Structure 1
Amino acid sequence: MAMPASEIEAMIRAALPDATVEITDLAGDGDHYAARVTSAAFAGKPRVAQHKMVYEALGGRMGGVLHALQLTTAVPN
């Protein structure tokens, strides 16, 4: 079952309202995405904690509805 990029973006923005989210469908199948998420909420947190925040925003869909997500996180300049 595929998950639309717009749904991924909406879920991340709901959890991180200030986030800039860029989603790329890597395989054209709705199952393999790359996401770049930039948020001030990541400031001072290690990369693992930043990624955990994004995965939590997806409400357990990783590994199920959403097969693969290549994730890049950043703090705004």
Structure 2
Amino acid sequence: MQAQDIERLIEEQLPDARATVRGDDGVHFEAVVISTAFAGKSLLQQHRLVYAALGGRMEREEIHALSLKTYTPDAWQKLPS
């Protein structure tokens, strides 16, 4: 699995999501995901939405590890540059 594949899956499954995924070994990845779908949800709920978007690829170990940072658009805008 490639980083671009993970970005595409997340962006297809989460409303208006923007995903940036890095990883070069094919199984360990880091992702930053920004979506209005995260509004009002706990960090755990946000991460579960992303895992659900990946459709079981974590369980099948197509993706061995995914480090996630999730933000609403408002929270993203408030981050220091």
Under a length normalisation based on structure 2, what TM-score does the superposition of the two structures give?
0.85
Q: Please state which structure has a larger fraction of its residues in helix.
A: 2
Structure 2 residue aligned with 1:13:
11
CA shift for structure 1 position 24: 1.1
1:75 corresponds to 2:72: yes
Structure 2 residue aligned with 1:54:
50
Out of 26, 29, 36, which is 1:40 matched to?
36
CA shift for structure 1 position 30: 1.2
Q: In percent, how many aligned pairs have the same letter?
A: 49
Q: Mark the runs of 5 or more structure 2 residues left unpaired by the alignment.
A: 75-81
Q: Mark the runs of 5 or more structure 1 residues left unpaired by the alignment.
A: none
Under a length normalisation based on structure 1, what TM-score does the superposition of the two structures give?
0.89
RMSD: 0.9
Distance 2:13 2:3 in 1: 16
Which is worse superposed, 31-40 or 12-21? 12-21
Q: Secondary structure at the match of 1:45?
A: coil
Count of paired positions? 73
